[in-house]
Amino acid sequence: MPITPATATHTSSNGTVEPILLELVDEDGTTIGTAEKLAAHQAPGQLHRAFSVFLFDEQGRLLLQQRAHGKYHSPGVWSNTCCGHPSPGEAPFAAAARRTFEELGVSPTLLAEAGTVRYNHPDPDSGLVEQEYNHLFVGMVQSVPRPDPEEVASTAFVTAAELAERHAADPFSAWFTTVLDAARPAVRELTGPSAGW
């Protein structure tokens, strides 16, 4: 299984390479410790904090991303605008805004919390497991995405109807439907009834 620098380690300000740590949580979302990123995703998985972002344009279309083909987990599949993990002690809201800019080159506007969802999704291709306590966010995007090719292979803006067609034809992340369904009330509030979400 390939491990890329962006997923396995990061370089600190003093030049040393350090593992990426995730925040482990209990079933109520209370922090109970940390674990190295890859270890937390190895079966059966350790419950950890995550976030998922759904950004929409002024026409009510959802910005999707296709995950880069070099990623060790769920490469090449389509997913929500941005997802990831806060660093230990980092607020999920701050992490969501930070990673959206790092991955897509856009800063969300009207970014708002949309609840949490807990799930357990194995990835049959990699054997990794998403045991996540996921903080959901919805917002608007008002600039053209400039994706980092190490993170994102492609992007697309889709209506609710176009998403249904694409979802039937293309592979999506194992967690996509779960997080979208959990965020739908906030999505509908943001986009209005005419958008069809």
**Catalytic site residues?**
83, 132
Pairing mode, if any, of strands 129-140 and 48-56? parallel
Q: Name the percent of the chain in helix, strand, coil, to the closest 5.
A: 25, 35, 35
Measured CA to CA, the distance from residue 31 to residue 88 in angstroms comes to: 9
Cis before 44 (ω within 30): yes
Distance, C-alpha 55 to centroid of its chain = 11
Give me the amino acid identity at 16.
Answer: T
Measured CA to CA, the distance from residue 120 to residue 138 in angstroms comes to: 22
**Angle, alpha carbons 113-115-118 (nearest 5°):** 135
C-beta of residue 175 within 8 angstroms of C-beta of residue 132: yes
Residue 126 structure tokens: 């990699």
C-beta of residue 2 within 8 angstroms of C-beta of residue 126: no
